[in-house]
Amino acid sequence: MTAPTPPRSIAALHAAYAGGLTPAGLLEDLSARHDALGDPGIFLHRPSPTVLAEAVAALPPFDPARFPLWGVPVAVKDNIDVAGMPTTAACPDFAYLPGESAPAVARLVAAGALIVGKTNLDQFATGLVGVRTPHPIPRNACAPDRVPGGSSSGSAVAVAQGLALLSLGTDTAGSGRVPAALNGLVGLKPSVGAIPSRGVVPACPSLDCISVFAHSVADAWAGYAVMAGADEQDPWSRPITLGAPGAALTRLGIPRAVDLHLDGAEQRAAWDAALARLPGDVVLAEIDLSPFLETARLLYEGAFVAERDAAFGHLVPRAAMHPVTQRILAGAARFTATDAFAGLHRLAALRLATLPAWAQMDALLVPTAPNFPSLAELEADPIGPNARLGTYTNFVNLLDLAALAVPAPLRPDGLPFGVTLIGPRGRDVALAATGAALMRSFST
C-alpha cells in the first residue's frame, strides 16, 4: 500500500490540522512513508514512538499565529544537537548524547516544531557530494544513480521525499545549497552568524551557518525567522534585523561567459532556460567573477583547511574517520601560521576587489552547481567532482554574503537544476522576496 502523501507546505499542513488531522496521525503517515521508501541512508536516528508521543503531548493548543511551526515535522542534520538524540556527525566513534538542544533547535520546538530525526551527512560536514559517510548513502530523490549532494544529504532528501516539511542543514562551503539544487528544493543560507551555531559540531567555526531546506521560500523563511537572533553564549553569533519580505530585487548580476563553468550541454541548457524565464522587470548585468572565484579556491586550496583540522581533527583518532575525511585533514599539515595570515590578507584584498561588482547589481544570480555527478563518477574520483560542485558556493561565507538557492526549470533530460541568489550580509529578506518571484516566474 502506498503511504499517504503529506502536505507540502506549512499553510497546507495547518489547514489540514484545522480540518481534523492530528500531529499523531501525521507522524504515523510519515513513518509509513519512510518504511515504504526503503532508503536506510536518510536518517541516522529516529525517535521512538514513545518519544514522539511525548513531543505531541507537549504541544500547546493549536494556534499557528502564536506558534508558526505548530506540528511541523522537522529533520535535523546529525551535526546539530537535539536533546536526547545522539549527535555523531556521521562518525560512530564520535557519538555523544547532548543534554540540551542547540539554540536553533530549541527555538524551532518553542515555535511548535516536531523533530522527526537526525539525518545523514558527509562526515564532519566535509564534502558537497553526500557520499562521504560510513552509513548507507541517502538516495537522491530525483535520480538514484546521482549523488544526493552534501554535506547535508539526508536533510535534503528527507524533505524531497516528504518525510519532513522543513529540515536543518549546515553550510560552510555550500552544504545548504548544493543538496537543494540536486533534489529540487529551496536552500536558505543565512547571513553568517544570524542563526546561532552553538550546539553545532564545527567544521570551520568562522564560516559555519545553519541552513534550511523546504519546498518553498515562504516555508524556508518561516523556519529561518524563528531561529534567527543573537546568542550571548555563542562567540560567532552576530545580531541581524530580518524584516518581512517585500519587493523583489530587479538588478541581477550574472557570470560572464568566461566565468560560466558548466559541465555538459544539459547544465548549460537549463541555465539558459532559467535566464529566459526570469521576471520581465529583471535587468541583467554581466559581472567579472574572477575575484569571487579566486576567493572560492581559498577554502580548500588554502590555509582554511587548517581551520577544519583545528575544529574537529582532534575529536577522534584519524583511523576512525572516513578515508576522504582523513585525506582532507592530512592536507592541513602543509600550511603554517604564516600561510594562514597570508590567506587572511589575500581574502581581505579579494573582498575589496569584489566591491565594484555590487555597484552594478543588487544580487548575484549563479547556477547553484555546475555539475551533477553520478555515483560512479565519485567512485572513480572522490575529489574532483566534489571540488567542481563548490564553484559558485565556496566563496559565499568567506565574503560574508547571504544566499538563497531555488529550483529552476528542469534540465532537458528531466533532472533538477537550481540557481542561487547571493547578496551582501543582511540582504536576506530581499533575497527571499526575489527567490519567491523567480520561482513564480519559473513555474509559468
Output the pLDDT for position 288. 97
Residue 77 appears among annotated catalytic residues: yes
**Three-class SS of residue 151?**
coil
Q: Which of 151, 152, 153, 191 is catalytic?
A: 151
pLDDT in tens, 283-323: 999 999 999 999 999 998 888 899 999 999 999 999 999 99
Cell of 345: 590578507
By 3-state DSSP, what share of the chain in percent is helix, strand and coil, each rounded to 5? 40, 15, 45
Output the pLDDT for position 5. 82
The parts of the chain modelled with pLDDT lower than 70 are 1-3
Query: How much of the chain, in percent, has pLDDT values that exceed 70?
Result: 99
One-letter amino acid of 319:
A
Output the pLDDT for position 244. 85
Domain layout of the chain by residue ranges = 10-227, 251-443
Domain 251-443 sits in which CATH superfamily? Amidase signature (AS) domain (3.90.1300.10)
Contact 211, 185 (CB under 8 A): no
Fold of 10-227: Amidase signature (AS) enzymes (3.90.1300)
Output the pLDDT for position 246. 86
What's 332's DSSP letter?
G
Q: Which of 77, 118, 152, 216 is catalytic?
A: 77
Other CB atoms within 10 Å distance of the CB of residue 289? 25
Residue 124 CA to residue 12 CA, distance in Å, equals 35
Q: Which of 152, 155, 167, 175 is catalytic?
A: 175
Residue 160 CA to residue 45 CA, distance in Å, equals 18
Output the pLDDT for position 2. 63
Residue 118 appears among annotated catalytic residues: no
Q: What's the angle, vertex CA 282, arms to CA 278 and CA 283, rounded to 5?
A: 125
Output the pLDDT for position 104. 98
Contact 394, 374 (CB under 8 A): no
Residue 168 CA to residue 342 CA, distance in Å, equals 34
* Residues 6 or more apart in contact with residue 270 via CB below 8 angstroms: 408, 409, 410, 411, 412, 417
What's 410's DSSP letter?
P
Residue 169 CA to residue 75 CA, distance in Å, equals 9
Is it true that 10-227 and 251-443 share their CATH fold?
A: yes
